[in-house]
Chains A and B, each alone.
Chain A
């Protein structure tokens, strides 16, 4: 049986030997886990579940990652107490990879940067955007805190082998576009439940050309089409990226020729223009030119979707020598301390400050309506984040539009949704 990437990675981690049909979609396999992740919102519930389970120790103190990123820096007393609980647990269990404060960043940007995840790994995380690591060829998926607690206790979890949808991109991507536009196109095409229970697998010449960061952006939003995972083959670019993150022994991984897919979608990208997801679902995708002149009050550049150095470069290129429109808040949150340092070194932070952006700390903050940029009733934001559900960034009477960092930067300059090429 020829395997898709999802089948290949799950079969390789199965506790019982897998022969051909055992890996057919719909089969349930119990697999060993390479990494188990939780954050400041989901770790406290997992810790509570571990106590109910009577689990005294985690299965491997080196394979648990706890990142205090959602409400960091702690936004109120209750969020501070969630971190206290998590910190106490990390100390008791002697967890190697506990990140809080100055060494913490947005988890799905931080883990690949620190080299904690690599090609072929099987990762579960108590966060729906755990699927990000598919960008470097890991099968990674989100689960709830109690499933994560079970994973922390046992080092294993059960999985249903998913059907896979293959998406192939051909042609040459026009300027001011990246992974964000391609994944928005996919979500618009499939709908927010089009990949429900399924894995997405991306390939084609556009993907081969694409930097790993763009692939991480795309894998990140697989969940926005309902996907269980968003997967990319690990190629030489992936291995270079992993080596830079101080990983030494990774290998390329690709789907088998002749693997079977539930559907195969193809797109010629040459005539595409930057895309924007309109309220209140990520599937409401329209070309940026159809939305021009729509005024916004706030622009957010950051998050596990588009808060990496390449995203900040893209924004700075557009904002260089320009000013943010008076009365608009343009908030830039580098996703990790590493991204922040690189942006300082490259002069990006200075460019953004000259343009009168607000530079904030690495944090999920406004993406989920936590803090650091909340919308009031009647306000409209354009964000490089991943979800535009009603009320996600604040008031249920506010609106969120999603786009790539170049569109976000151009919009910050004019105060209305703008194609960066039309500035």
Chain B
């Protein structure tokens, strides 16, 4: 799995109310949720996204707050396939895998990414290449349990397989 795009940067402790305010939680539609992505942070923010060609880079504890799965879905719906962060809040991290958003935790190396940098992510190799600065950042392989879920195409498919095995 490889991804390429230019970096869009946000700070520390971006919460789920910033990613998708609760008033929009009356929909489960990715396009609808995506159209309100990051409105809690800045109503104009989504205009900076180039769908499919933007990778989000963030500081500490990205996605803190509520358990709403609408948050990763809003990012996907807005056309962002990958979030690279110093660290993620636990529930958001787990939700991201389940919904097919790729969360990459890089710790202090997150300071290597600046708004507008052209990035390439090689997921199996665990490498992010920053074309703008020429630097490469490595990240540890995904936990096995997470990989098993991604390999079968998300949690819904994973459970489907488990249920049919039980029959």
Contacts and interface: CB of A to CB of B under 8 A. Distances in A.
Interface of A: 28, 41-42, 44-45, 48-49, 52-55, 70-71, 76, 78-79, 81-82, 125-128, 130, 142-147, 149-150, 153-154, 158, 160, 192-193, 196-197, 226, 228, 281, 368-370, 387, 389-392, 396
B31 to A, nearest CB: 15
B159 A154 contact: yes
Given A226-B90, A391-B40, A396-B40, 6 more contacts: A49-B156, A76-B26, A82-B26, A142-B66, A389-B15, A389-B65
A196 B60 CA distance: 11
Contact of A53 (B27, B87, B163): B163
Contact of B68 (A144, A193, A197): A144
A146 B69 contact: yes
B11 to A, nearest CB: 12
B160 interface: yes
Contacts of B18: 389-391
A183 B43 CA distance: 33
A143 B15 contact: no
B159 A128 contact: no
Contacts of B70: 45
Contacts of A193: 13, 60-61, 64, 87, 89
A24 to B, nearest CB: 15
A146 B91 contact: no
Contacts of A150: 155, 158-159
Nearest to A71: B26
B150 to A, nearest CB: 13
Nearest to A198: B90
Given A48-B28, A193-B60, A391 B21 contact: yes
A130 B89 CA distance: 15
Contacts of B6: none
Interface in B117-167: 143-145, 154-160, 162-164
Nearest to A55: B163
A145 B26 CA distance: 14
B111 interface: no
Given A389-B18, A390-B17, A226 B89 contact: yes
Contact of A192 (B13, B43, B158): B13
B68 A192 contact: no
Nearest to B26: A78
Contact of A389 (B17, B23, B158, B162): B17
Contacts, number: 138
A197 B61 CA distance: 11
Contact of B94 (A78, A79, A144, A226): A144
Contact of A28 (B67, B143, B162): B143
A77 to B, nearest CB: 9
Interface in B44-72: 60-61, 64-70, 72
Contact of A147 (B27, B64, B155, B163): B155
B4 interface: no
Contacts of A387: 15, 17, 65
B17 A392 contact: yes
A49 B162 CA distance: 14
B10 interface: no
23 contacts: A28-B143, A41-B68, A42-B68, A48-B28, A52-B157, A82-B26, A128-B91, A130-B67, A143-B91, A143-B94, A143-B95, A144-B91, A144-B94, A144-B95, A146-B69, A150-B155, A154-B159, A160-B143, A368-B22, A369-B23, A387-B65, A389-B18, A389-B65
Nearest to A75: B26
A125 B162 CA distance: 21
